[in-house]
Amino acid sequence: MKALHHTTNRHSRAHAKSGRTAALVLAALTGSACDAVLHPAVQNTHNSYGDEEHIVIPEDIADAANVLPNDTPNLPGYHRAQILVSIDAADNPSSNVDEMALFTVSGVFDAGNAQQIDAFVWDDDNAPLDGKRRLELGPGTLNGQPLDVHLDEAVAQDWDEPCPAQDPSYGLVECLDGDIEQVFSVVDNYVFLAPHGGNIEPHTDEQAQAASTHSFAYQNGTFDMADHSLAWFLKGFRSGGGAHKHFHIASEDIGRGSFPKLDLIGPKVDNLFNGFPYAVAFHGMSNKPAKYTIYVGGGSSLCVRNQVVATLTAVLANESSVSVVLSPDPKLDGTSALNLVNWLTLNGAGGIQLEQTSAVREDYGTAVAHAVAELLPQLDGLCP
């Protein structure tokens, strides 16, 4: 694993604090990774309590790893950050295999003069899923002897185009497809997203790629979406299953500082880039309320979302079993300003989020991706 490295904070703030020793940070920066001890989060003390995807770590460690929450508040996307937690087979009390899971750093604390690095995740055997079970840890494993883990700010493998050439058996891959220089040189540029690709929410990354490379008849010629769009996606894998449990992070929590390629295409300072006119995020949901269902959400206008509903309904008109509706579920509607599909767009007003059942993704994934791609250049005329 990559060692945590101390870098200059984005705010260039001095972080020396009276009464705080540097020993904790220095201890973390030696060796191949940052070693820590995992504990159960305490209600009303650690804000990772109650959320299986969250973790609380010492502030100095978060600063050293550039994963401080609410970092760089003048730019969108730095409100949260992620860290990879892993456990070696030799230290795993539940099995004799290595395990890893992605967590959102949702809180930090002053470790004072502590001589070990403590980290806190939600531990509740009565919940459907808690933090320890993201690491395949069984009941009681956080209540006995200290549990040694590793923390790593390098949360995803980095691949060049095409991405990836071969999927890993276990891990997370960050991908960015497209010609950035070309796309940023045109006004009508777009980005297609799949933050839960690979085996997390299968086929969503394929949809982002299909949309971003689609060519179609438009006006008096051909519109080549490859000249106008990028595809950013994460691909998570775990042999034997469980990629969703280990690597899913809520779209509202995804931090650009943890994903270099996402950071590359995010809004910049000094108005160098203020965001894409439209962004489309492909997501997966379970086969409910019906097998073939698409929820349309995002921070775009009601007119835009209605156009998406109408377009997909028309494209899938011969499939009477497919239902395309405005998202009725506040947990899946994608309207939060913190959702990456929104903060990647101009004024946060161009996000389109598609929640699709697995049957839709399997049977109509490409058709959905192409239909949305063909709609984007028309939206300014349809929804002025």
- Could you tell me the residue range of the domain that residue 377 belongs to? 157-382
pLDDT in tens, 217-254: 999 999 999 999 999 999 999 999 999 999 999 999 99
On the question of pLDDT at 137 being above 80, the answer is yes
- Cβ atoms within 10 A of the Cβ of 215, count? 14
Mean pLDDT of the chain: 88
Tell me if 3 is assigned to some domain: no
Q: Are residues 259 and 370 in the same domain?
A: yes
Task: Give the closest residue to 237 by CA, choosing from 309, 290, 166, 145.
Answer: 166
The values of phi and psi at residue 37, to 5°, are -120, 125
Is 247 in the same domain as 268?
A: yes
3-state SS, residue 107: strand
The DSSP annotation for 189-231 comes to -EEEEEEEEETTSTTHHHHHHHHHT-EEEETTEEEEGGGTEEE
Q: What is the DSSP code string of 272-325? A: S---BSEEEEEEEE-S-SSSSEEEEESSS-HHHHHHHHHHHHHHTTT-TT-EEE
Closest CA to 252 of 197, 302, 195, 191: 195
**The pLDDT of residue 285 is above 50:** yes
Domain count of the fold of the chain? 2
Q: Please determine, for residue 3, whether its predicted confidence score (pLDDT) is greater than 80.
A: no
Q: Do residues 99 and 87 make contact, with C-beta atoms less than 8 angstroms apart?
A: yes
Note the pLDDT of residue 162: 67
pTM for the whole structure: 0.91
Tell me the CATH number at 298.
Answer: 3.40.630.100
What pLDDT was estimated at residue 68? Answer: 87
148 with 292, same domain: the answer is: no
**Residue 6 counted as domain residue:** no
**CB neighbour list of residue 168: distance below 8 Å, 6 or more residues apart:** 157, 237
